[in-house]
Amino acid sequence: MSQQCVDPIVGKILAGWRYDISGLAPEMRGDYESHFADCERCRSRQRLHRIIDVGLIALASVSGGVFLLAFGVIRHFGPRHALWLEIAALVGFALSALIWLVVAVATPAPVTVLDAAKQGARLVHDRLPPEIRERLPEEIRVKITGT
């Protein structure tokens, strides 16, 4: 049985925004963050959208790498019609780069990746011995811990 949204009106607003509230001012996010805390359906949809966004960036990155590798292989072996193959590889790379850029700009995927990196850094920071933690510059400690 599929779960129902606890507040369908807020759920429809969030669905229209692709469950992205990262662009909202902090004082406007409160109600939406509390909705995510209360609503498993919207929270799981938000997670799905972020997985798709990060997956698209990863796929475009791998695709661009493969096109660059193809270009290098073509340059190395120099087959007949190499110019056309090189052009095709560079066009494929350019399209992959364009897709990567569009996804990075149009979605909150970079913010999601940055948040995950900050959480990982916070976990590592919390496990460090106190004498090493104290050696970190104050500005880095503030960025990691948020205090």
Residues 6+ apart with CB under 8 A from 15: 45
Angle, helices 109-127 vs 82-106, to 10°: value is 70
Kindly report the pTM of this predicted structure.
0.71
Query: Does residue 35 carry a pLDDT above 70?
Result: yes
Instruction: Say what percent of the chain tops pLDDT 90.
Output: 37
pLDDT 10s digits, 82-116? 999 999 999 999 999 999 999 988 888 777 777 77
Mean predicted lDDT score pLDDT of the chain: 88
pLDDT 10s digits, 53-62? 889 999 999 9
d(Cα 46, Cα 43) in Å, to the nearest integer? Answer: 5
Structure tokens at 141: 């400690």
d(Cα 56, Cα 50) in Å, to the nearest integer? Answer: 10
d(Cα 104, Cα 59) in Å, to the nearest integer? Answer: 12
Task: Name the region of 104 (left: φ>0; alpha: ψ -120 to 50; beta: rest).
Answer: alpha
Predicted confidence at residue 2, as pLDDT, reads: 59
Predicted confidence at residue 1, as pLDDT, reads: 44
